[in-house]
Amino acid sequence: MMMQPRRSPHKVRFGLLTGLCYALREHGCASTLVCPWRGESVLYVPYPASTAKPLAVTAVEHHDRWVFAFGSCTTGTGDVREAAARVTRVVGAR
């Protein structure tokens, strides 16, 4: 059996954050996806009722699975709509 080549972590992270960005929009929550020339992609989610720095969300590989990490929280990437709902609650967007 031929093994599939492993996808670049940068591509996986960007794809996961893109999906979360779209799901946040469906929850009425703004976000900005930053993909720097060097470094890793990060999704910034503003706190609607505050001028504090936005919440930074990233996707990381943890024990052979991908999770979204933000603040002191992590949530699986398998259900992006649930992850978006959790991020929305954290920033108080609803």
Residue 3 reports pLDDT greater than 70: no
pLDDT of 92 higher than 70: yes
pLDDT for the residue 56? 97
Q: What single DSSP character describes residue 27?
A: T
Q: Which residue has the tokens 């990490």?
A: 69
Q: Where are the beta strands (DSSP E) in the chain?
A: 32-34, 42-45, 55-62, 65-70, 73-76
* Prediction pTM value: 0.88
Mean pLDDT value of segment 14-42: 94
Give the pLDDT score at 52.
87
pLDDT of amino acid 1: 57
The rounded mean pLDDT for the chain is 91
Partners of 70 in beta bridges: 57, 73
**30 band by pLDDT with thresholds 50, 70 and 90:** very high
> According to the model, what pLDDT value does residue 5 have?
64
